Structure 1
Amino acid sequence: MFEITVISVLMMCLGTTAYATITSSSFKVVSDVRLSDYTNNVLNVVKNVYSHITCSSQCETDCYSFSYNKKTKECKTYNRELCTGDSDQQSSNTLVFVKTRSNDVSVVTYFTSSTGMTRGKAKQYCDDHGGHLLVLDSNAKWKHFSSHQAYQDLTLSVGEYWISMTFDDSVVECDAKAKDEPWRYTGWGRWASENREPNRCSYQYCVKLSNSRMRSTECISILKAICKSGCIDSTIN
Structure 2
Amino acid sequence: MADHHPAEESLIEKITEKFHGHDSSSSSDSDEERSEPSDIKAKIYRLFGREQPVHKVLGGGKPADLFLWRDKKVSAAILGGVTAIWVIFELVGYHLLTLVCHSLIVSLAVLFLWSYTTTCMHKSPPHIPEVSIPEDLTVNIVLSLRYEINRGLAVLREIALGRDLKKFLAIIAGLWVLSVLGSCCNFLTLFYIVFIALHTVPVLYEKYEDKVDSFVEKAEAEIKKQYVVFDAKVLSKIPRGPLKAKKF
TM over 0.5: no
- The TM tier, using the shorter chain, reads under 0.3
Larger proportion of strand = 1
TM-score of the aligned structures, taking structure 2 as reference length: 0.17
Question: Higher relative CO (CA 8 A, sep ≥ 6), structure 1 or 2?
Answer: 2
TM-score by length of 1: 0.18
For the pair shown, the structure with the greater C-alpha radius of gyration is 2
